[in-house]
Amino acid sequence: MLDQLITDFKADMWLYISIPIISGVIGYVTKVVAIQMMFAPLEFVGIKPIFGWQGIVPRKAEKMAAIAVNLMTSKLIKPSEIFARLDPQRIAKEIEVPMMAAAEDIVRDVAQQYQPGLWEGMPDFARQKIIQRVKGEAPAIVASIMMEVQGNIDKYFDIKHMVISNLLKDKRLLNDIFRKVGRQEFKFFSNAGFAFGFGIGMVQMVCWLVFRQPWMLPAFGGFVGFFSDYVALQMMFRPLYPKKIMGMTFQGLFLKRQKEVAADYAALISKQLLTPGNMMEELFRGAFADRIMELIHKNVKRTVDDQAGIARPLVVYAVGSQNYIEMKKTIADRIMAQMPETMKHVESYAEDAMDIRATLVARMQDLTSEEFEGMLRPAFKEDEWSLILVGAVLGFLVGEMQIHFML
């Protein structure tokens, strides 16, 4: 019996040797396909709703973004904390030049709009005096607004809306977060597929040599795709905590890299998502922009009334009470429209003052293993069964093709 098996093996040696190699390739290819299925394509390709595919992460973008922002807001970043690091007076100083230039245009345009004859008939020194007084007050208005925002940040700034809207707007960024955070794990996932496949292929080779049943090749191929996917996923995230087995320490590969991942994640998030520019955009054009508008109206109204001083009744009489009210609203609207562009001059200072990257690194390194697992695991957990199933199907199909070479 043994002699016959050896003779058979020698007769078709290269065919038999190809079995574990092909099995390893099946394991590798099914992992590469699984990874690509998680991220690509960004938009649905095929005939909706069944015949086609969209990457799991972009397809579940809203849920994935919500998971990411929940981790950020509950464990990593508090808006009140990072906004408290900004000095309103320093912000006023940073935007003084562009704000003054804008203030001059605003005063001139509003005055010509509501009382053109009076404004044009004024001596130049009088017009300049009014402009200078408003220019002097403009940075103070911004400082006052920022102090109010800092004191009641949840009323004016919605970090969840900012993060989710930016991630939904740019699904490629959402992909990048998961890809870069788990790049080592994805590499292991593919390589492990080959190793598992090769090992199972050795068993497959012996079984084929002994039994030579046609059903065995597709069955083993399907098993390789299924088993290698499942085991590789488990090795990436289990055990959660270091565990000694026969003198060797084991822990999920992703969890072992917590410090390294923290640095990568912090760099990506602080440069592309939690940026001063995005925060100012959310503040002045985001979910609570109407509340900021009310705040600017209140400050402009007070400033204009203070500047009018004892001459306020005369000013109201000259332009009309309704025009006076509309004039203050127009000034506030113009300031509000100018703010996002003006606040770009603050971004360099704000980035240093908020120090988001260092904050993220420190907080992420303190996460528990369960919390840290939640950064990457959702990308696999969503429709994990479909990834494993595709691996099994691909393995089965390759096994079917093997039959034509072996028989």
How is 350-401 classified by DSSP, letter by letter?
HHHHH-HHHHHHHHHHTS-HHHHHTTTHHHHHTTHHHHHHHHHHHHHHHHHH
- pLDDT level of residue 380 (50, 70, 90 thresholds): low
Q: What is the pLDDT of the chain when averaged over all its residues?
A: 78
Rounded average pLDDT over 31-51? 83
Q: Which residue, 130, 149, 134, 47, is CA-closest to 99?
A: 134
> Between residues 59 and 112, which one has the greater pLDDT?
59
pLDDT in tens, 45-68: 888 877 888 888 888 888 888 887
Q: Which residue, 342, 182, 191, 327, is CA-closest to 252?
A: 182
**Contact (Cβ atoms closer than 8 angstroms) between residue 265 and residue 364:** yes
Report cis status (omega within 30 of 0) of the bond before 20: no
Q: Which residue, 195, 376, 350, 227, is CA-closest to 283?
A: 350
Rounded average pLDDT over 97-104? 70
| Count of C-beta atoms within a 10 Å radius of residue 215 | 11
What single letter denotes the amino acid at residue 3? D
- pLDDT level of residue 274 (50, 70, 90 thresholds): confident
Helix (H) or strand (E) holding 151: helix 124-151
Least confident segment among 108-112, 118-122, 296-300: 118-122
Q: What is the DSSP letter of 239?
A: S
- pLDDT level of residue 310 (50, 70, 90 thresholds): very low
**Contact (Cβ atoms closer than 8 angstroms) between residue 224 and residue 201:** yes
**What local confidence, expressed as pLDDT, does residue 88 receive?**
86
**Rounded (5°) CA angle 301-144-105:** 60
The pair of structure tokens assigned to 255 is 């969890």
Distance set, CA 269 to CA 68, 75, 99, 152, 286 (Å): 11, 15, 30, 25, 19
Rounded average pLDDT over 396-407? 70
**What local confidence, expressed as pLDDT, does residue 311 receive?**
41
**Contact (Cβ atoms closer than 8 angstroms) between residue 190 and residue 27:** no
3-state class (DSSP) for residue 230: helix
- pLDDT level of residue 76 (50, 70, 90 thresholds): confident
pLDDT above 70: percentage of residues in the chain: 79
Per DSSP bridges, beta strands 51-53 and 45-47 are antiparallel
Rounded average pLDDT over 32-49? 83
Nearest-angstrom CA–CA distance, 71 and 127: 54
- Position 318 pLDDT exceeds 60: no
- Position 104 pLDDT exceeds 80: no
pLDDT in tens, 216-269: 778 877 887 788 778 877 887 888 888 887 777 888 888 888 888 888 888 888
> Between residues 354 and 339, which one has the greater pLDDT?
354
The pair of structure tokens assigned to 137 is 């007050």
Least confident segment among 13-17, 72-76, 139-143, 316-320: 316-320
- Position 319 pLDDT exceeds 60: no
- pLDDT level of residue 188 (50, 70, 90 thresholds): confident
Q: Which residue, 194, 222, 217, is CA-closest to 19?
A: 217
Rounded average pLDDT over 109-124? 63
3-state class (DSSP) for residue 46: strand
- pLDDT level of residue 317 (50, 70, 90 thresholds): very low
Q: How many residues does the chain have?
A: 407
Distance set, CA 214 to CA 40, 217, 254, 402 (Å): 35, 6, 40, 9
DSSP letters, 103-134, are HHHHHHHHHHHH-HHHHHHS-HHHHHHHHHHH
**Contact (Cβ atoms closer than 8 angstroms) between residue 81 and residue 310:** no
- Position 157 pLDDT exceeds 70: yes
**What local confidence, expressed as pLDDT, does residue 340 receive?**
77
- Position 11 pLDDT exceeds 80: no
**Contact (Cβ atoms closer than 8 angstroms) between residue 279 and residue 340:** no
**Contact (Cβ atoms closer than 8 angstroms) between residue 316 and residue 372:** no
- Position 77 pLDDT exceeds 80: yes
Looking at beta carbons, which pairs linking 255-259 to residues 24 or more positions away fall under 8 Å? 255/369, 255/372, 255/373, 257/184, 258/364, 258/365, 258/367, 258/372, 259/365
The pair of structure tokens assigned to 322 is 């309704």
- Position 112 pLDDT exceeds 80: no
Q: Which of 69-73, 143-147, 317-321, 347-351: highest mean pLDDT?
A: 347-351
